[in-house]
């Protein structure tokens, strides 16, 4: 690990026109080169996002622009440099994360006494989920609070639009619980409901028929464990991926269970699923209320669960908006456009 970050020489200065300047000094030239990126692309991206101009003077970086953008720029640079000091890379996704969340620890709500050793990843306000293939970090404040609740509560809901990481983060936490030995198996499920299309008869075995509905869950698992390991764990029944209807009559003990696309579960299905919770198990329910594919007149079980369970303190509800979308930037704008049309 590199030498620790010296206290940066940050000096904001504002003139009568509202244009301000903030500077910061970093001690390690090699880390500074990584921070700037190839051909200073990281600095150029920050300039574009915050509307500032960043100048490099030796070990100093100086940001110019309308207040408070230069101070925000310096805060992001300090956070990114700290990542490099911890022998971690800096990508555009990491820059986006710091732009959304500010400096590490600024909004930490994690308690080291809640959740026992499972909250060890909340060091200094940071939230990190260790999986077999990668370390996963929330990229927005809402995602951070969501992940913390996944560790604190045995039953948690994540509700919001597509692209906000609800299912991806839930599966990451499930994998973390599994590899750390807190649960014996992972169970992923979703209603087998067609999204506005009639797919017709699907050939093959029962598993082959439902696999197209489960593909997003396979994708997440493969990202964290690798396709080969996922295959072996499925053969050993340590990972189960099945339609929601297959949960009936079971008691899900010693398992981490994720129900995806919960907006497409009926009220009876939701009640059936929630009452499967067994000893030493955790459940996460994710859904998007704007993408209900149930037949007209059929009430979404997700809405009923919100109404009936919202006042129970041991159950957490986390909500996401278009601001939490971490896919392509256009996805957030598309969601906002549809939301605006619905409200007009």
The per-residue pLDDT for 202 is: 56
At residue 250, the pLDDT reads 86
User: Does the structure show a pLDDT above 60 at 1?
Assistant: no
Please give the Cα distance from 271 to 268 (Å, whole number). 5
- pLDDT score at 196: 44
Phi, psi of 149 (to 5 degrees): -70, -30
Contact 3, 49 (CB under 8 A): no
CB-hemisphere CA count at 13 Å for 119? 19
Return phi, psi of residue 169, to 5°. -70, -40
CA torsion sign for 279, 239, 150, 110 is positive
Cα–Cα dist 52/165, whole Å: 29
With tokens 């026992």, the residue in question is 116
State the pTM of this model: 0.73
d(CA 140, CA 325): 9
Mean pLDDT value of segment 273-294: 92
The continuous run of DSSP H or E covering 258 comes out as strand 255-259
Q: Which fold has domain 13-101?
A: Ribosomal Protein S8; Chain: A, domain 1 (3.30.1370)
For 236-265, letters b (16+ CB in 10 Å) and e give eebbbbbbbeebeeeebeebbbbbbbbbbb
What's the CATH number of domain 116-343, 3.30.360.10, 3.10.105.10, 3.40.50.300, 3.40.50.1170?
Answer: 3.40.50.300
pLDDT of residue 5: 40
**Which pLDDT belongs to residue 103?**
42
- Span 94-127, pLDDT tens digits: 888 788 776 444 444 444 334 444 444 444 456 7
Higher pLDDT, 329 or 217: 217
**Mean of per-residue pLDDT scores for the chain:** 82
User: What percentage of the chain reaches a pLDDT higher than 70?
Assistant: 81
Q: Using alpha carbons, list the distances in angstroms from residue 134 to 127, 138, 204, 229.
A: 14, 13, 34, 14
- The rounded distance, in Å, linking the Cα atoms of 138 and 148 is 10
- Asked if 154 and 314 touch (Cβ cutoff 8 Å), the reply is yes
What sign results for the dihedral spanned by CA atoms 296, 297, 300, 303? positive
Tell me the pLDDT band of 224, cut-offs 50, 70 and 90. Answer: very high
Contact in structure between 157 and 149 (CB atoms under 8 Å):
no
pLDDT attached to residue 168: 94
**Residue 61 CB neighbours (<10 A):** 25
Buried b (16+ CB within 10 A) or exposed e, 195-211: eeeeeeeeeeeeeeebe
CB 5 within 8 A of CB 81: yes
Percent of the chain with pLDDT over 90: 36
Residue carrying structure tokens 């590899």? 179
Domains of the chain by residue range: 13-101, 116-343
């Amino acid at each position: 690990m590199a030498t620790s970050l010296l206290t940066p020489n940050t000096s904001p200065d504002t003139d009568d026109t509202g244009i301000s300047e903030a500077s910061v000094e970093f001690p390690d030239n090699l880390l500074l080169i990584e921070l700037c990126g190839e051909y200073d692309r990281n600095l150029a991206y920050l300039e574009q996002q915050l509307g500032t101009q960043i100048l490099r003077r030796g070990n100093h970086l100086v940001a110019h622009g309308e207040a408070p953008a230069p101070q925000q720029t310096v805060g992001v640079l300090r956070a990114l440099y700290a990542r490099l000091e911890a022998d971690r890379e800096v990508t555009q996704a990491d820059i986006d994360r710091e732009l959304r969340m500010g400096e590490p620890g600024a909004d930490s709500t994690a308690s080291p006494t809640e959740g026992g050793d499972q909250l060890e990843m909340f060091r200094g306000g940071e939230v990190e989920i260790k999986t077999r293939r990668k370390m996963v970090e929330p990229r927005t404040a809402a995602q951070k609070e969501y992940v913390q609740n996944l560790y604190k509560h045995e039953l948690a809901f994540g509700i919001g639009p597509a692209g906000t990481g609800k299912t991806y983060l839930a599966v990451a936490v499930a994998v973390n619980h599994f590899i750390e030995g807190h649960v014996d198996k992972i169970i992923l499920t979703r209603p087998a409901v067609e999204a506005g299309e009639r797919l017709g008869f699907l050939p093959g075995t029962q598993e082959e028929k439902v696999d197209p509905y489960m593909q997003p869950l396979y994708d997440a698992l493969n990202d964290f464990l690798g396709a080969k390991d996922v295959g072996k764990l499925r053969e050993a029944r340590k990972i189960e991926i099945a339609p929601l209807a297959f949960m009936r009559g079971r008691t899900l003990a010693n398992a981490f269970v994720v129900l995806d696309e919960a907006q497409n579960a009926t009220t009876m299905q939701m009640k059936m699923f929630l009452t499967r919770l067994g000893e030493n198990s955790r459940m996460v329910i994710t859904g998007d209320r704007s993408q209900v594919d149930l037949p007209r007149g059929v009430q979404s079980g997700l809405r009923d669960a919100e109404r009936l369970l919202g006042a129970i303190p041991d159950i957490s509800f986390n909500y996401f908006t278009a601001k939490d979308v971490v896919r392509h930037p256009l996805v957030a704008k598309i969601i906002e456009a549809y939301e605006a049309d619905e409200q007009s």
